[in-house]
């Protein structure tokens, strides 16, 4: 079986990391965490558009390293917590612009499916989150949906409580593998 790559996207505080970890455990798959959290925890919450480009490049670098390792060792499923679409949405929302390198990479990179996490979970504040306002979260979710519609890969909206989200996501992934 060839390597399948599933990406989990969505606004902040929608359970992306939790769902990614749960899916990886369920399928005994590899999980690639979001690099942005590591970067911001190390470098501080204040960031510029240039920081987003650094984050994007490191996310791609670690993803490519994981894919290469899995192809050598025969891994069949990679769950990716956040890809460049998340960085694109964030860049355009915060700065009104997205670097062309990021846009080019989005067009070039191929994934087997996307899971778009809905904003129906309660907001959970942490050191990095910025937009607890319900209207802004819904606006961001709508923007993610528009971006998903532009992708060639199949995608599904993941909503409900955590257990329901996992069940829906598992069914979706099973349909792809």
Which token pair is 114?
């996307």
**Alpha carbon distance 80, 64 (integer Å):** 11
pLDDT over 80 (residue 1) = no
Q: What is the pLDDT of residues 152-166, one digit of tens each?
A: 999 999 999 999 999
**Alpha carbon distance 150, 154 (integer Å):** 10
Termini Cα distance of the chain: 9
Q: What is the pLDDT of residues 107-124, one digit of tens each?
A: 999 999 999 999 999 877
For residue 127, name the pLDDT band (cuts at 50, 70, 90).
low
Domain segments of the chain as ranges: 4-176
Q: Supply the CATH classification number for the domain 4-176.
A: 3.40.50.300
pLDDT over 70 (residue 12) = yes
CB 149, CB 42: distance < 8 Å: no
**Alpha carbon distance 3, 16 (integer Å):** 21
CB 172, CB 112: distance < 8 Å: no
């Amino acid at each position: 079986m060839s390597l399948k790559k599933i990406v989990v996207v969505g606004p902040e505080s929608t359970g992306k990391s939790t769902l990614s970890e749960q899916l990886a455990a369920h399928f005994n798959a590899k999980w690639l965490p979001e690099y942005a959290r590591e970067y911001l925890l190390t470098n501080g919450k204040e960031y510029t558009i240039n920081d987003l480009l650094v984050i994007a490049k490191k996310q791609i670098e670690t993803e490519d390293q994981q894919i290469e390792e899995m192809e050598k060792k025969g891994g069949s499923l990679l769950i990716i917590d956040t890809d460049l679409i998340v960085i694109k949405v964030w860049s355009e929302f915060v700065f009104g612009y997205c670097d062309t390198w990021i846009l080019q990479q989005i067009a070039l990179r191929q994934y087997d499916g996307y899971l778009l996490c809905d904003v129906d979970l309660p907001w959970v504040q942490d050191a990095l989150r910025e937009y607890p306002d319900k209207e802004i979260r819904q606006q961001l979710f709508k923007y993610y949906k528009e971006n998903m519609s532009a992708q060639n890969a199949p995608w599904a909206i993941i909503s409900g409580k955590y257990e329901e989200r996992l069940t829906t996501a598992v069914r979706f992934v099973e349909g792809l593998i």
